[in-house]
Structure 1
Amino acid sequence: MAGHKSRAWEAKSRIPAGGGKYPPADFPAFSLPLLSMNKWFFILSLLALLVGTACSPEYRQYSQWSRKGSISEKDSAAFYFYERGDYEKAALLFEDLRGAYRGTDRARKLQYHYAYAKYNFGLYVVAAYYFEEYTRLYPNDALAPECYFMVGYCYYLEAAPYYLDQTFTNKAITQMQLFINNYPTHDKVEEANKVITELRERLAQKEFETANLYYKIENFKAAVTSFEVMLQEYPDSRYREEAMYLLFRSAVSLADVSTERRKRNRYLDAVEYYERFVDAFPGSVFLKDAEAAYVKAKRNLGRILAGQADS
């Protein structure tokens, strides 16, 4: 069966969606001298099988139909290639047949398999378009919820690592949430929630790393703002503990370098951030360092308050 290399940004566990076949995993890289005789036999047998299939009278017949056949023959050829994993040929035939079957019940079946052919070929964004088109054309069909889910899942597979553009990450989250809202009892809701959780964590990491970068380059005002936004938008993130700690440290550093007019309020903010951090994570690995910075901040704040009382 001919597969196609996945173009997803990261290796992910596939969620079975039904109706389609996932591309087989790529063969791992190997060193020729280390292959055993059994492995060589397997590889040669597989090659012989593939060559034999391509040269079979059946395969030649369907290939001929795909080029010069009638509508019915091209239809048969399309599903022949689809079932054997030749999704590129199948997709070309499905595309050719879509116009011929427009407005018929057969068009519905072709649309469904056409979307899966694109999906199994690794063209996830294109597949998402045709899955979404299915939901628009056949909103009350029994397969519409599955196609709704697959739109989000295709975007999920196309989503980039946290340090790159997150357009498809956000699209996947939006689509999965719409799927859950529209089909709350569907058996794919649990998988959809898992996808949302994973992708939200990716967005949280992006926000965290951005804020952390501001902290490292000593842009403390931007760091405070960024950590605040990150914690507000992703309160359940696994980065929450470190983010709260670095928010406090950023606030202390910002107060240290502030003008005298702003020091008082900014030290007060830092003290409040520390108290929130300790309440949330009393056993934190960052607690010792936080306490040292807190003592210093309280001492500086005390001097400022004492000076204001004397004036």
Structure 2
Amino acid sequence: MKKNSYLFLTVILLFTACKSSRLVNPGDTVQEAYQKGITKFEEGSYGDAAEIFETVTRVGRGSEYAQEAQYYLAESYFNQERYILAEAEYNRFITFYPRDSKRQEVDYKKALSIYHQSPRYRLDQSATRRAIEEFQLFNSRYPDSRFVTESAGKINELREKLARKYYESAQFYSRTDQYKAATIYYDLVIDRYPESKWAETALLNQIDTYNEYAVNSILNKQVERYNLAISSYEKFIQLFPQSNARSEAETFRDEAEQGVKDAQEQLRQRETNQGN
């Protein structure tokens, strides 16, 4: 029965391997095609290897060679830096062979494939967030894995990128005098990524931005917004007590406190004038 199955696969390969005809001979068995794929892979000819392995996965479905070919197909795309295709093929391996001994490695390589799809910080960060989720899931599923330390490092790197995106957005809103939006985005950096290198500067800038917001507000709103600057200063001192920017933060606080006094005095004068 087993012999007949391989003969059947050979016939199928004969009629379906047109795509790989320059790499796989029409008379090759699935095993022979798989071995040719391995040879190409070991030579570093990943494009040719992927083409062969893709044929083996189709033609030899259900065989041990198809299972190994699925793994090497994903690896070939990964080594070619074709990360979208690599992710798809690692996913297919996980779906078809969830109990395979290479599952842990494949899960990690899938996360790495998504990581490599993460663009520079100015662009849409959907892939960045997906990669973080995949690495976190990996670390939760395999806490003793040899990849955990590297995975944790990738998470930190990607979180820094997300923090920078929020920080740069805040900077943009601040430069264009959109003070409320700027303070919101500084808050996102501080609250979501407090461990990032952007958090300290974000909080310092938030103090200054609240002061600018107050200066450019109507008198009735100034006290409230200067007090927000003072609250941000208190948060800064709590989170970064040893900061090298402490003196700058204190200057911003002094400006806010003086602003509160000046605004309150103006409000009192206005009430007095209205009373007269």
On whether the aligned pair clears a TM of 0.5, the verdict is yes
CA-CA distance at 1:282 after TM superposition: 4.0
CA-CA distance at 1:96 after TM superposition: 1.0
Conservation of the 8 A alpha-carbon contact between 2:56 and 2:65? no
CA-CA distance at 1:309 after TM superposition: 6.3
Rounded to whole Å, the distance in 1 between the matches of 2:192 and 2:77 is: 35
CA-CA distance at 1:103 after TM superposition: 1.6
Could you say which residue in structure 1 is the equivalent of 2:246? Answer: 287
Equivalent position amino acid for 1:289 in 2: E
Could you say which residue in structure 2 is the equivalent of 1:75? Answer: 34
**Which sections of structure 1, spanning at least 5 residues, go unmatched?**
1-62
Could you say which residue in structure 1 is the equivalent of 2:94? Answer: 135
Could you say which residue in structure 2 is the equivalent of 1:113? Answer: 72
Conservation of the 8 A alpha-carbon contact between 1:201 and 1:237? yes
Rounded to whole Å, the distance in 2 between the matches of 1:67 and 1:212 is: 61
Could you say which residue in structure 1 is the equivalent of 2:4? Answer: none
Cα distance change, pair 283–185 in 1 and its aligned pair in 2 (3 A): closer
Rounded to whole Å, the distance in 1 between the matches of 2:171 and 2:251 is: 20
Conservation of the 8 A alpha-carbon contact between 1:66 and 1:93? yes
CA-CA distance at 1:277 after TM superposition: 1.6
CA deviations on 1:140-199 (whole Å, 9 max, x unpaired) are 221111101111101112221112222221221111111112222222111111111111
Equivalent position amino acid for 2:251 in 1: A
1:66 maps to 2:24: yes
Q: Which has the higher contact order (CA 8 A, sep 6+)?
A: 1
CA-CA distance at 1:287 after TM superposition: 3.3
Number of matched residues? 250
Rounded to whole Å, the distance in 2 between the matches of 1:174 and 1:220 is: 32
Cα distance change, pair 304–64 in 1 and its aligned pair in 2 (3 A): closer
**Which sections of structure 2, spanning at least 5 residues, go unmatched?**
1-20, 272-276
Rounded to whole Å, the distance in 1 between the matches of 2:92 and 2:86 is: 10
CA deviations on 1:37-60 (whole Å, 9 max, x unpaired) are xxxxxxxxxxxxxxxxxxxxxxxx
TM-score (norm 2): 0.84
Counting aligned pairs with the same residue, the percent is: 29
CA-CA distance at 1:115 after TM superposition: 0.7
Could you say which residue in structure 2 is the equivalent of 1:222? Answer: 181
From 119, 125, 129, the equivalent of 1:170 is: 129
Could you say which residue in structure 2 is the equivalent of 1:53? Answer: none
Could you say which residue in structure 1 is the equivalent of 2:115? Answer: 156
CA-CA distance at 1:67 after TM superposition: 4.1
Conservation of the 8 A alpha-carbon contact between 2:173 and 2:182? yes
Rounded to whole Å, the distance in 1 between the matches of 2:136 and 2:27 is: 44
Equivalent position amino acid for 1:98 in 2: T
Could you say which residue in structure 2 is the equivalent of 1:254? Answer: 213
1:124 maps to 2:124: no
CA deviations on 1:57-77 (whole Å, 9 max, x unpaired) are xxxxxx966243412332221
TM-score (norm 1): 0.75
3-state SS of 1:99 partner = helix
Equivalent position amino acid for 2:195 in 1: D
CA deviations on 1:212-247 (whole Å, 9 max, x unpaired) are 111122211111111011211101111111111101
Could you say which residue in structure 2 is the equivalent of 1:12? Answer: none
Rounded to whole Å, the distance in 2 between the matches of 1:89 and 1:282 is: 58
